[in-house]
Amino acid sequence: MQLTVVEGDITQQDVDAVVNAANNRMRGGGGVDGAIHAAGGPEVLEDCVRRFPDGLATGDAGWTTAGQLPARWVIHVVGPNYRIGQTERSLLTSCYRRALEVADELGVRTIAFPLISAGIYGWPKDDAILAAVETLRGTPTRVEEARLVAFGRDAYDAIRAVVDREVQE
């Protein structure tokens, strides 16, 4: 699998699936979740309510329509909230692994990920980047391209540095 890094808006990525950093309730929220629901339109929320009436557990993943997004599917993952004591790294890496498993079930070839839990959920950014890169590189999948979408230049530079370092090692 090719791992790429781009700076931009995850809602504008022309890929088979985008990954949404959702909350347990699966009813929309702030950050990436709010942006995906806003850009995808009401179909995304309607599908979340229908498919996940009880939400999802932390570390798990499930898919819905992408509504009006350029992607075909949204793969929702529930990242750990570091700020409230969900500090087990396995919960974070499970999000990336489970998203790839769901992608394989759907036949996804291209997928775009945000940096899960590194925003309002407070996961230390350097470790969030390492967890993403290590898990995406180390998980067997039929996905051909996994794209890490950085929101802002500082995030792009930090992710790019880890990806470049991992390639050299």
pLDDT digits (tens, 9 = 90+) for 40-73: 999 999 999 999 999 999 999 999 999 999 999 9
Q: Which of 33, 47, 54, 164 is catalytic?
A: 33
CATH superfamily of 2-168: Leucine Aminopeptidase, subunit E, domain 1 (3.40.220.10)
**pLDDT, position 165:** 86
Full-model pTM: 0.96
What's the CA gap between 19 and 17, in Å, rounded? 7
Residue 126 appears among annotated catalytic residues? no
Report the relative pairing of strands 17-22 and 110-113 from DSSP bridges. Answer: parallel
**For 126-140, how does the pLDDT look when each residue is reduced to its tens digit (9 = 90+)?**
999 999 999 999 999
What's the CA gap between 110 and 18, in Å, rounded? 9
